[in-house]
Amino acid sequence: MSEKQYLIDAITVNDSWRLFKIIAEFVDGFETLSDIYPCVSIFGSSRVQSGEETYEKTVIIAKKLAENGFNIITGGGPGIMEAANRGAREGCSKSVGLNIRLPFEQKINPYVDVNLEFKYFFVRKVMFIKYAQAYIGMPGGFGTLDEIFEAMTLIQTKRIKPFPVILVGSDYWNGLLEWMRSDLLGRNKVSPEDMDMLTILDDPDEVVKTIKRTVIV
């Protein structure tokens, strides 16, 4: 057997075993989350600290949602994720953390009640989408943008039923929305109705009202 063929066979075997690991993560996620309803997935920066305005607003939003019957799903880590899980616990709903194994270890925050750990980002993203009745994006970076635009793409292409996608913090998100209107919509890269998928809000009570209008608890 040539060295090239040996390497091809080794890759094939590794990929086959990887498939079983992927299936196992899906099974764990489905079995754990299937009975938790309704849920709101909350995203945002892991670099925010307790005491900062965005952190404290996230706690308030998650707590108000919890008091109105919503469970909270986050990525399980620090920053906004911790704030949302904290609010869920204070509001007495289920506080779910979908943690991801990274080269720089992300520790699960102390406010998570239901903890799932994933190796594969795409499996984790399925869980965020499948079990959420609404998405909230607090100020964040690439990961937050990834989750928000993933949801918008799936809604746009009718792969999932429409649900509220809310960005909290007009001072943070208005620039993005203006660019979308001027460049995406203005250059005919999206349709006018696509812009209706996003809502930018600042008031926690308005966030809760917006979600309650479209989600049956």
The CATH number for 133's domain is 3.40.50.450
Distance of CA 66 to the CA centre of its chain: 17
Q: Which two tokens stand for residue 110?
A: 């102390």
The answer to whether residue 191 is domain-embedded is yes
CA nearest to 134, candidates 54, 76, 32, 214: 214
Distances (CA, A) of 70 to 66, 118, 125, 149, 217: 5, 23, 20, 23, 7
The answer to whether residue 19 is domain-embedded is no
Q: How many CB atoms lie within 10 A of CB 154?
A: 15
pLDDT of residue 106: 72
Alpha helices, DSSP H, located in 136-184: 142-156, 170-179
pLDDT of residue 91: 98
pLDDT of residue 10: 44
The answer to whether residue 206 is domain-embedded is yes
The answer to whether residue 30 is domain-embedded is no
What do you get for the CA distance between the two ends of the chain, in Å? Answer: 61
The answer to whether residue 66 is domain-embedded is yes
Domain residue limits at 121: 37-214
The answer to whether residue 57 is domain-embedded is yes
Tell me which amino acid residue 214 is: T
CA nearest to 130, candidates 109, 150, 114, 156: 150
Report the greatest alpha carbon distance in the chain: 67
The answer to whether residue 25 is domain-embedded is no
Contacts of 215 (CB under 8 A, 6+ apart): 38, 70, 133, 134, 163, 164
pLDDT of residue 214: 87
pLDDT of residue 132: 97
Q: Which two tokens stand for residue 177?
A: 């929305």
Q: What's the predicted TM-score (pTM) here? A: 0.90
pLDDT of residue 92: 97
pLDDT of residue 2: 53
Q: Which residues pair with 115 in a beta bridge?
A: 97
pLDDT along the chain (217 residues), means of 10: 45 72 95 97 96 98 98 97 98 97 81 96 96 97 96 95 96 97 96 95 98 85
The answer to whether residue 32 is domain-embedded is no
What total of structural domains would you count in the chain? 1
pLDDT of residue 105: 60
Distances (CA, A) of 105 to 24, 51, 84: 22, 24, 20
CA nearest to 100, candidates 113, 118, 115, 85: 118
Q: What is the DSSP letter of 184?
A: I
